[in-house]
Amino acid sequence: KAGVTQTPRYLIKTRGQQVTLSCSPISGHRSVSWYQQTPGQGLQFLFEYFSETQRNKGNFPGRFSGRQFSNSRSEMNVSTLELGDSALYLCASSTGTNANTGELFFGEGSRLTVL
Amino acid sequence: GNSVTQMEGPVTLSEEAFLTINCTYTATGYPSLFWYVQYPGEGLQLLLKATKADDKGSNKGFEATYRKETTSFHLEKGSVQVSDSAVYFCALSDNAGNMLTFGGGTRLMVKP
């Protein structure tokens, strides 16, 4: 069974640009969550999508957005990039059922560097 | 709001030593508790979980008991191996979907 796939794995952008990251969940998983990992702030929740609807949202500015498609694949977008957005962005998939709450399968991440 | 505090690392142990990584939490209600592990060059993976007070989660020789009275979920292993070297994250979910709150992570280094 294929794991969670994130693309691209590495990217470099400059301040003010925007970026789109993609995540393909494990087959059959309907929930996709996004996390930002930085040395200073650790792992922080961005948002979760379930069946194409945003189910939860973390405390990030509106420059961070996401969506989920009917095949459960998800994208997140960051507009007007700032230096502080440099981070590893992790996608995690889950069945989304109550019985499996918190049981996440993570991808290897997309490492974004903002210059 | 919710928060998770875990001991800072790195923790350096010799092979076959006993391991404890402390984790305490603050949350409203009755959260579920998790330990995730990140091996070098790999993604985060779930190690174990506990969903209610006094539950014990266990996997690969690791154990953690949900202690509501002390709001703790300490990770233990009786005899660590070099292959256990990784970063360990304690996390909680207030069961409103998959919005996890993570601790800062503890790096474990096991020497032969």
Give chain A's mean pLDDT.
94
pLDDT of residue A1: 64
Residue A15 and residue A11: Cα distance in Å, rounded? 13
Q: Is A56 on the interface with B (CB under 8 A)?
A: yes
Q: B75, B84 in Cβ contact below 8 A?
A: no
> A-chain residues within 8 Å CB-CB of B89?
43
In angstroms, the separation between the Cα of residue A80 and the nearest Cα of chain B is 25
pLDDT of residue B95: 66
Which among B91, B98, B104 is the nearest to A31, CB-wise?
Answer: B98
Give the count of Cβ contacts less than 8 A between chain A and B: 69
| A78, A80, B26 from A13: Cα distances, Å | 11, 10, 37
**DSSP tag of B72:** B
Do B98 and A48 count as a contact with CB atoms less than 8 A apart? yes
Higher pLDDT, A5 or B42: A5
Do A106 and B43 count as a contact with CB atoms less than 8 A apart? yes
Residues B68-103: tens digit of each pLDDT? 999 999 999 999 999 999 999 999 998 667 889 999
Do B44 and A90 count as a contact with CB atoms less than 8 A apart? yes
Q: Which two tokens stand for residue B35?
A: 């330990």
> A-chain residues within 8 Å CB-CB of B104?
42
Do A109 and B91 count as a contact with CB atoms less than 8 A apart? no
Q: B52, B31 in Cβ contact below 8 A?
A: no
| A64, A86, A91, B16 from A114: Cα distances, Å | 15, 5, 19, 43
Q: Is A97 on the interface with B (CB under 8 A)?
A: no
Q: Would you mind telling me the total number of residues written for chain B in this entry? A: 112
Closest C-alpha among B21, B1, B29 to residue B107:
B21
Do B98 and A105 count as a contact with CB atoms less than 8 A apart? no
Q: Which of A101, A105, A111 to mutate to test the interface with B (most CBs of B within 10 A)?
A: A101
Residues A4-52: tens digit of each pLDDT? 999 999 999 999 999 999 999 999 999 999 999 999 899 999 999 999 9
Do B99 and A109 count as a contact with CB atoms less than 8 A apart? no
